[in-house]
Amino acid sequence: MTEERVKAYEGLKNYLTNAPFLLMQDWKLPFKLYIDVCGEELGAALHHTQIINEKPVEGPICFISRQIKPTEARYEASQIKFLFLVWALEKLHYYLDGTVFDVIKNCNAVKSLLNMKAPNRNILIWKIAVQEYRGNMTIVHKYGNIHKNADGLSRFGLENTPENPAWVPQEEHHIGGICVTDIGT
């Protein structure tokens, strides 16, 4: 990675993670979780609408993304989307626990899998992990051509290596209350 690219990345990261671009959460207001999966990339943006200068303004609170792991690449597309919903809920648990929120996505598969009567073992585990949010969570389908909030996070990802300026050497995953730690990629 060239020095120019690292500098551009750091500048963009600084802009996207500071006010006025990012909004502060207001626990009394509902959240919107935009999720998208594209190829081997997963992206999500947590938004909410606040009143700023007497006008409702929707804006991001935070962004998350990651690559699909080699073991996950064997899943069907609909299962990957469901797994990503579980991952996003676990990653954003501190924002979403006990709040009302919409999950906005461009695929109806997750809704179908949530309502499946005889799921396989993985889907059953994921359904259990999502249960605690079901009373406060509404899943909304938004067509792909107007679903742009999380698209950029699920496109053109970089590998999680030391050469990547956003490298994370160790990441914890909590799925259904079980903590799984991955070292490296």
Structural domains present in the chain: 3-183 (3.30.420.10)
Q: For the chain, what is the total number of helices (H) and then of strands (E)?
A: 5, 7
Cβ count within 10 A of residue 79: 19
Residue 1, amino acid: M
| Alpha helix ranges (H) inside the chain | 3-16, 77-91, 93-96, 109-114, 121-131
DSSP code per residue over 129-143: HHHTTTTTEEEEE--
Distance CA 87, CA 89 (A): 6
From 57, 163, 34, select the one nearest 105 (Cα to Cα): 34
Residue 48, amino acid: H
* 152, pLDDT greater than 90: no
* 60, pLDDT greater than 60: yes
pLDDT tens-digit profile of 103-136? 888 777 777 777 777 778 888 888 888 888 878 8
**Do residues 157 and 63 make contact, with C-beta atoms less than 8 angstroms apart?**
no
pTM given for the model: 0.69
